[in-house]
Amino acid sequence: MSGRGWLIRVAYTGVMRCNVFGTGYLGATHAAGMAELGHDVIGVDVDAGKIAKLAAGDVPFFEPGLRKLLSDNLAAGRLRFTTDYDLATEHADLHFLGVGTPQKKGEYGADLRHVHSVIDELVPRLTRPSVIVGKSTVPVGTAADLGRRARALAAYGVDVEVAWNPEFLREGYAVQDTLHPDRIVLGVQPDSIRSEAAVRELYASLLAEGVPFLRTDLQTAELVKVSANAFLATKISFINAISEVCEIADADVTVLADALGFDPRIGRRFLNAGLGFGGGCLPKDIRAFMARAGELGAGNALAFLREVDSINMRRRTRMVELTTAACGGSLLGANIAVLGAAFKPESDDVRDSPALNVAGMLQLNGATVNVYDPEALENSRKVFPTLNYSTSVAEACDRADAVLVLTEWREFVELDPAELADVVRNRVIVDGRNCLDVARWQSAGWRVHCLGRRLESV
């Protein structure tokens, strides 16, 4: 089929067929989201266990709203999952790439082996003109490389384009961010003839709602994504650096952040001081960005990200120091309740979780640590099997010498200090996320310590 015929078929039906390779966080959400937009979607993965779960409507991770999106679209017949590349290549000519790009072992750079293996498996099977749209976060230059790799692997006469459409979804809001993105960025090859039309058609209903669409070259699209995450990480570390000064100068960083936030050029979001950022994206993305800039000879330009990383990691040790002080100078034999293990609320993700890191350090310093999280216990047990895990706040806080709030789940923010007072040994609470109503806790007889704020009572 000619390139033109391919586009006409798409435009005529309005419903597109597409595949999504990689069914982790990003891929599974994108597949279900595209089906929800009315398209006919196959999610493909090499992990048969993951595919079986998704095909049965079971989401292998916690993400609000995703289970319903998945089961609705499976039931409607718009969404299928398979490990079969032949089935997928027969199904569609538009292929999304949503596999993981983790940090390399022992290095800052990104590990691209999954991206490469999809291209190597997929492209030789293609028999019609096709578009491969990358969504994974990759070092600048990767998409152009993949384009060359794809052209080398494609059968004679089969035209394969590579485009890049970075994903900006946040864990915990993945469904909303997929169905209502704040922008769509598409990087295309210089000689591209069909990528933009295909992607515009796929996202037609979003574009009709006025979502901004930016077409660019491949390298700009790649850089938009890592720059966005670098900016967010910098904003968090900025306020945390200021909080270090606030702590010494006896100023209140939360009021300061509110005051800064009224300036629309600054904005209040991502100015919450506390334990800092973790998760599978921000930490590894800033490191991979630094590594890539170094390779390109622009290492100096991103040297500040090393400081961003360092400020962020310092929050974790500061939290341990604050807890030690709250326990009277030593953690030896202290019974500590840790509320929160996920890297942020509304997620069961514990990758590079500041909360779990702190819990581990407290234990190393001789404390008995009881961790509770509403969703992340199972994942936590896998990475930190030696900590004690509780199935409720009350169980974790039983005879605690100090209670630590390390992830700002609503359940913790809304805790009743009077109720908890009878459970603990000492009414000492350490707020690692500046999310508690300090006056309320103090008036219930608690000593409150906040990361980045010095309080009168402390």
Stretch in the footprint of ligand UGA (CB under 6 A) among 128-136, 185-193, 273-281, 287-295? 273-281
Locate 73 and state its tokens. Answer: 């679209």
**Residue with smaller CB distance to ligand UGA, 67 or 170:** 170
- Answer yes or no: are the C-beta atoms of 164 and 187 closer than 8 Å: yes
Among 278, 360, 432, 452, binds ligand UGA (CB under 6 A): 278
Nearest approach, Cβ of residue 249 and ligand UGA (Å): 21
* Span interacting with ligand UGA, options 71-79, 97-105, 169-177, 443-451, rule CB under 6 A: 169-177
Q: Of 18, 246, 281, 327, which one is the catalytic site residue?
A: 281
Sign for the CA dihedral angle at 388, 390, 396, 398 comes to negative
Cβ neighbours around 307 below 10 Å, total: 12
Nearer to ligand UGA, 344 or 453 (CB): 344
Q: Which of 169, 362 has the CB closer to ligand UGA?
A: 169
Sequence length of the chain is 458
Which among 70-78, 195-203, 272-280, 317-325 is the span making contact with ligand UGA, rule CB under 6 A? 272-280
Least Cβ distance, residue 170 to ligand UGA (angstroms): 4
Provide the edge-to-edge strand list for the sheet that holds 402-405: 388-389, 368-372, 335-339, 402-405, 428-431, 447-450
Residues in a beta bridge with 110:
103
Our answer to whether residue 281 is catalytic in this structure is yes
- Name the nearest CA neighbour of 302 among 314, 313, 286: 286
- Rule CB under 6 A: is residue 232 a binding residue for ligand UGA? yes
Distance CA 16, CA 20 (A): 13
Our CB check for ligand UGA shows the closer of 126 and 291 to be 291
Shortest separation between residue 109's beta carbon and ligand UGA, angstroms? 16
Tell me which of 279, 417, 432, 452 binds ligand UGA, using CB under 6 A.
279
Instruction: Report in angstroms the alpha-carbon separations of 335 from 52, 330, 388, 397, 400.
Output: 42, 11, 11, 9, 5
Residues 116-145 that bind ligand UGA (CB under 6 A): 137
Q: Does 100 bind ligand UGA (CB under 6 A)?
A: no
Q: Is 452 in the site for ligand UGA (CB under 6 A)?
A: no
Q: In the window 3-32, what residues touch ligand UGA (CB under 6 A)?
A: none
- Which of 277, 289, 372, 389 binds ligand UGA (CB under 6 A)? It is 277
Contacting ligand UGA within 340-369 (CB under 6 A): 343-344
Choose among 118, 165, 113, 107: nearest CA to 137. 165
Q: Does 171 bind ligand UGA (CB under 6 A)?
A: yes
Residues 243 and 314 sit within 8 Å (Cβ to Cβ): no
446 binding ligand UGA? (CB under 6 A): no
For ligand UGA, the closer of residues 150 and 169 by Cβ is 169
| Number of residues binding to ligand UGA, judged by CB under 6 A | 22
Q: How far is the CB of 427 from ligand UGA (least distance, A)?
A: 26
Q: Please answer whether residues 218 and 143 qualify as being in contact, where contact means their C-beta atoms are separated by less than 8 angstroms.
A: yes
Rounded Cα–Cα distance for residues 24 and 63 (Å): 12
SS3 category, 226: helix
What is the token pair recorded at 341?
Answer: 């293990």
Among 399, 379, 377, residue whose Cα is nearest residue 388: 377
Interface with ligand UGA, residue 271, by CB under 6 A: yes
Contact 435, 450 (CB under 8 A): no
Helix-strand-coil percent breakdown of the chain, rounded to 5? 45, 15, 40
CB of 303 to ligand UGA, least distance (A): 22
Active site positions, annotated: 281
Q: Which residues bind ligand UGA (CB under 6 A)?
A: 137, 167-171, 229, 232, 236, 270-272, 274, 276-279, 281-282, 285, 343-344
